[in-house]
Amino acid sequence: MATEVHATAIVEAGATLGSDVVLRAGAIIRSGTVLGDRVVVHSYAVIGGEPQDLRFDPATPSGVAVGEGTTIREFVTINRATRAGTSTTVGPGCFLMAGVHLAHDVRLGEAVILANNVLLAGHVAVGDRTFIGGGAAVHQFCRIGEGAMVAGLARITEDVAPFTMVAERDEVIGLNLVGLKRRGVSRAAIQQLKEAFRRVYFTPGNIRAVAAQALADLAAGEPEARRFLEFFAGGKRGFVRPRREVALDADPA
């Protein structure tokens, strides 16, 4: 298979295409964009446009980097980074459905799925194998951990821990047990995640301190539970919290 650039697609000077890339009619690839092998960009998507930041200097040499095997559907917009020599990044194997917007300096991990009309503000970071439902919006500088699931139309203004499910306005509704099962995570690891979840979200006190103590007590625990607890040590924002009773004991098998 050879690279295909269909009629009316635009590739500006300074853009780089990998092998076997497909650009459908009307796709626009701006200067500074790098598309990995086997990337498919559908009609009227704009990759590498200027940030929607009134302070941005258009002369800044920045870009967008898209990993191999990623599919970008119609009317997606991905803005380039705001700092010289940096890129808004989309990992390999991602699927961005129609109307998705990635603002400047967003970072998507591997195999992330964004459903129609998802809106990610500047500097949002999304972990590997996360799913975000249609119409969800995420505030700038938020982090969404690996393996999380965000419901459609959710409004996220705080950090979302790995392997959790969130909905509505910053509302944790439990662990993403179905996603964990599909990834082949062991029962022992899921049980540790349940225990870590309960301790972090239902122990009084500062959530960062509670998570740090839980991590220290875990010692040589399962890697998924450790990554869940380590997440609370970082970030610039607060953390989503349960707003109602959370069910963690459903059998994921």
Q: Indicate if the pLDDT at residue 89 is higher than 80.
A: yes
CA atoms within 13 A on the CB side of 110: 2
Annotation says 105 is catalytic: yes
Annotation says 122 is catalytic: yes
Q: Which of 42, 67, 99, 105 is catalytic?
A: 105
Residue ranges of the chain that CATH labels 2.160.10.10: 4-176
Assign 149 to helix, strand or coil: strand
Q: Indicate if the pLDDT at residue 241 is higher than 70.
A: yes
Residue ranges of the chain that CATH labels 1.20.1180: 179-242
pLDDT tens per residue across span 61-74: 999 999 999 999 99
Q: Which of 122, 127, 147, 221 is catalytic?
A: 122
Alpha-carbon span 41 to 24, nearest angstrom = 6
**CATH number of 179-242: 1.20.1180, 1.10.3470, 1.20.950, 3.30.465?**
1.20.1180
Q: Are 74 and 92 in contact (CB under 8 A)?
A: no
Mean pLDDT across 48-57 = 97
* Residue 84: Cβ within 10 Å count: 10
Q: Which of 104, 159, 170, 179 is catalytic?
A: 104
Name the CATH superfamily for 4-176.
Hexapeptide repeat proteins (2.160.10.10)
